[in-house]
Amino acid sequence: MQTFVTDSPEEAAGYLNRGETVAFPTETVYGLGADVFNPDSIAGIFTAKGRPSDNPLIVHVQNPERISEVAGEINGAARLLIEKFFPGPLTIVLKKNRSVPDIVSAGLPTVGVRCPSHPVASAFLGFCNHPVAAPSANVSGRPSSTDWKTVYHDLGGKIDCLLRGEQSTIGLESTIVDCSVNPPLLLRSGAVSIESLRELLPEMKIATSCMPGEAPKSPGMKYRHYSPEALIVLVESPPPSFPEGEPSAWIGLSATPEGAVQALRCKSPEEYARVLFGFFRTCDAHGIRRIYCELPPEEGIGRAIRDRLFKAAGD
């Protein structure tokens, strides 16, 4: 299969409307989309990524009015979140409509819905006839793609179209809140922080899958995720030195220790989130064997970074 690369949201939507798979930029990470109501196209996503079929996809809509095309009742908690955080890096899980094929929801009675704020994503979704089901645009298990070249590296020749855009500004996948249960349940941490969610939903619970080291409870969380080839070493502060003879890398907020072959010192947790997956990929390209990752403070987006680091380390 040849992958057609374009800068035109309208052209990319044409591919999608014809039943083909299209990778597109969003503010969180790049997505690999297909028409939510076309099970054959959706199957193409699973094949291209090598994704297990019991891992549901997030459905992307251009604006909140279109949520009713895939979800039933929008309850009070969901309404509050939609009003405050849509469009943006938040996915809400709702009871699904019958029209949503099982392949999208992995057989669950629910559907995850997100409305991206990225202007190219928004334009693309506006040209699509139906909502777009999309997981992250990477080979399953690998770090999510935050730029179009990485998408091409992983999926070139396996998908029909790639809509090119800028690098993702957030760099980590969306926060997910399950609103189909009472009280609502945080399933995945992201740029929309627990602190800001709790302002609206003080009763919200946190799934064990969001707790580093805990057994996963939500779909999709049980798989190895976000992993580079190198061994991930999690540290609270920089090591005094790196082991001899093994090319090592450093990423964190503190000053870079001596002897790192690749290194990134981030000015803020937001920058750390934005560059993390790209750094993993760079390290792989340079044959790095160990990546020392500094755990950021457990607040704001720091919590999401920690979550991805623990999962990448195979914890």
The residues binding ligand AMP (CB under 6 A) are 55-58, 93, 105, 108, 110-112, 135-136, 173, 176, 187, 218-221
Which of 3, 62, 136, 209 is close enough to bind Mg ion by CB under 5 A? 136
Q: How far is the CB of 224 from ligand AMP (least distance, A)?
A: 12
Which 100-119 residues touch Mg ion, going by CB under 5 A? none
Return the range that interacts with Mg ion (CB under 5 A); candidates 33-41, 56-64, 131-139, 203-211.
131-139
**Which of the choices ligand AMP, Mg ion, none does residue 9 contact, using the CB cut-off of 5 to 8 A by kind?**
none
Give the H/E segment covering residue 177: strand 175-178
Assign 186 to helix, strand or coil: strand
And the tokens for 157? 């020749």
* Chosen from Mg ion, ligand AMP, none, partner binding at 58 (C-beta under 5 to 8 Å by type): ligand AMP
Compare residues 219 and 296 and give the one whose CB is closer to ligand AMP: 219
Q: How far is the CB of 221 from ligand AMP (least distance, A)?
A: 6
Q: How many of the other CB atoms lie within 10 Å of CB of 283? A: 24
Q: Does 91 bind Mg ion (CB under 5 A)?
A: no
* CA separation for the pair 295, 291 (Å, rounded): 12
Helices (H) and strands (E) in the chain, counts: 9, 15
Q: Distance (Å, rounded) from C-alpha 39 to C-alpha 18?
A: 13
**Alpha carbon 54 to its chain's center:** 17
Residue type, 116: P
**Residue 136 or 146: which CB sits closer to Mg ion?**
136
Say which amino acid occupies 13.
A
**Burial letters 245-263, b for 16+ CB under 10 A, else e:** eebbbbbbbeebbeebbbb
Comparing every residue's Cβ against Mg ion, the nearest one is: 136
Nearer to ligand AMP, 220 or 257 (CB): 220
Nearest-angstrom CA–CA distance, 224 and 142: 8
User: Could you tell me which residues come within 8 angstroms of residue 68 by beta carbon, excluding any fewer than 6 positions away?
Assistant: 74
Q: Which does 302 bind (CB under 5 to 8 A by kind): ligand AMP, Mg ion, none?
A: none
Cβ closest to ligand AMP, residue 17 vs residue 55? 55
**For residues 151 and 187, which CB has a smaller minimum distance to ligand AMP in the complex?**
187
Nearer to ligand AMP, 14 or 141 (CB): 141
Count the neighbouring beta carbons within 10 Å of the beta carbon of residue 303. 22
For position 26 contacting Mg ion by CB under 5 A, the verdict is: no
Q: In whole angstroms, how close is the CB of 302 to Mg ion at the nearest point?
A: 20
Give yes or no for residue 28 binding Mg ion (CB under 5 A).
no
Residue (58 or 155) nearer to ligand AMP, CB: 58
Q: Binding of Mg ion at residue 150 (CB under 5 A)?
A: no
CA distance 123 to 10: 8
Q: Could you give the C-alpha distances from 38 to 31, 131, 133, in angstroms and in order?
A: 17, 11, 10
Give contact residues for Mg ion (rule: CB under 5 A).
135-136
